[in-house]
């Protein structure tokens, strides 16, 4: 059937998209953003205060347990030289984001937001936290020369700190490999509470139940294949997937031994106007504090 001659229709009146002239656009008043924002490591550890760009803390340990300290009655005491404490160090680094929005863009009617500046600041706040998570987990050596006028300071990350209880396997994580490293951590005095893994190794740990007989409630009609808790001879640990972690490691973490040391908290600062724009600076200065690296473990997997 042909179009009635002279009839008004959207292609003629508003173009092929049907929008324009006197036809309104069909734009929803919301914004979808599924970019992940979970930061289980930096959000899960405690926070403390840094007071200098070189942040230091002390570590000490007891003498080895022995059965040779019994003495005779009336013994004349002798004195051993006190053991020295260990001073550990990390340096603060500055994470920064900036945004500049024109006055016109801030004033016009927008979909999904009232203020372009406020919306961008919210996004950048989440981005900085993600950047901190990546930095805290990686094998960043740390710059103990406190940087230069042209080189930024970089703080040391988890994988660079943990050097005592580490192993490398040529397969996906196995129960035997995890238990072996847990034994090393426990022997050193650690009491880990978390296995931190990337998505692939989370699936590999969940597959450790393959071949195990499962009793299912027929009424629930649900098959559970995930392992979220790893119960070992040395404690019960949460298995936590981290989107920003190394995909080929299993981090054995005692969260109480880590602190986020903040020198300057996250702040949003207006910058001087040099044109017809609104400028914002977001930054935070922080470092990672590892109070006993041998209370943690690291498994590198294939």
Please indicate, yes or no, whether the overall pTM of this predicted structure exceeds 0.85.
yes
Give phi and psi for 280, each to the nearest 5.
-135, 140
The domain segmentation of the chain, as residue ranges, is 40-57+86-209+224-300
Q: Give the whole-number percent of the chain exceeding pLDDT 90.
A: 76
Spell out where the chain has E strands: 46-49, 54-59, 86-91, 93-102, 166-168, 194-197, 229-232, 235-241, 249-253, 258-270, 277-290, 297-300
Looking at residue 140, its pLDDT comes to 85
Is the per-residue pLDDT at 145 higher than 80?
A: no
pLDDT of residue 129 exceeding 90, the answer is yes
pLDDT for 197 beyond 80? yes
Rounded to whole angstroms, the Cα distance separating 153 from 145 reads 8
Q: For domain 40-57+86-209+224-300, say whether CATH 3.90.1690.10 is its number.
A: yes
Per-residue pLDDT tens digits for 11-37? 777 877 777 777 788 888 898 999 999
Q: Is pLDDT of 222 > 90?
A: no
Instruction: Find out whether 291 and 257 touch, Cβ atoms under 8 Å.
Output: yes
CA separation for the pair 194, 240 (Å, rounded): 7
Question: 223 falls in which pLDDT band (50, 70, 90)?
Answer: low
- Residues found in the chain: 302
CA distance linking residue 163 with residue 165, whole number of Å: 6
């Amino acid at each position: 059937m042909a179009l009635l001659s002279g009839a008004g229709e959207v292609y003629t009146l508003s173009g092929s998209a049907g929008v324009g002239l006197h036809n309104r656009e069909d734009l929803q008043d919301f914004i979808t953003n599924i970019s992940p924002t979970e930061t289980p490591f930096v959000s899960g550890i405690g926070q403390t205060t840094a007071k200098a760009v070189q942040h230091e803390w002390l570590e000490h340990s007891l003498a080895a347990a022995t059965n040779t300290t019994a003495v005779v009655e009336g013994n004349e005491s002798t004195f051993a030289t006190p053991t020295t404490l260990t001073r550990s160090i990390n340096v603060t680094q500055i994470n920064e984001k900036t945004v500049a929005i024109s006055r016109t863009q801030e004033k016009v009617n927008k979909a999904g937001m009232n203020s372009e500046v406020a919306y961008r600041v919210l996004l950048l706040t989440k981005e900085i936290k993600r950047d901190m998570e990546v930095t805290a987990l990686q094998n960043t050596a740390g710059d103990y020369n406190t940087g230069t006028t042209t080189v930024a300071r970089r703080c040391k990350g988890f994988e660079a700190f943990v050097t005592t209880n580490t192993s490398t396997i040529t397969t996906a994580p196995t129960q035997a490999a995890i238990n072996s490293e847990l034994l090393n951590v426990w022997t050193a005095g650690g009491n880990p509470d978390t296995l931190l893994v990337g998505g692939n190794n989370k699936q590999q740990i969940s597959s450790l139940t393959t071949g195990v007989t499962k009793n299912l409630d027929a009424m629930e009609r649900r098959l559970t294949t995930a392992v979220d808790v790893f119960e070992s001879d040395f404690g019960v640990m949460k298995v936590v997937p981290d989107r920003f972690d190394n995909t080929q490691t299993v981090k054995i973490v005692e969260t109480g031994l880590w602190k986020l040391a903040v020198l300057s908290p996250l702040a949003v600062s207006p910058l001087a106007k040099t044109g017809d724009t609104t400028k914002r600076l977001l930054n935070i200065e922080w470092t990672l504090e590892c109070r006993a690296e041998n209370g943690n473990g690291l498994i590198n997997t294939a």
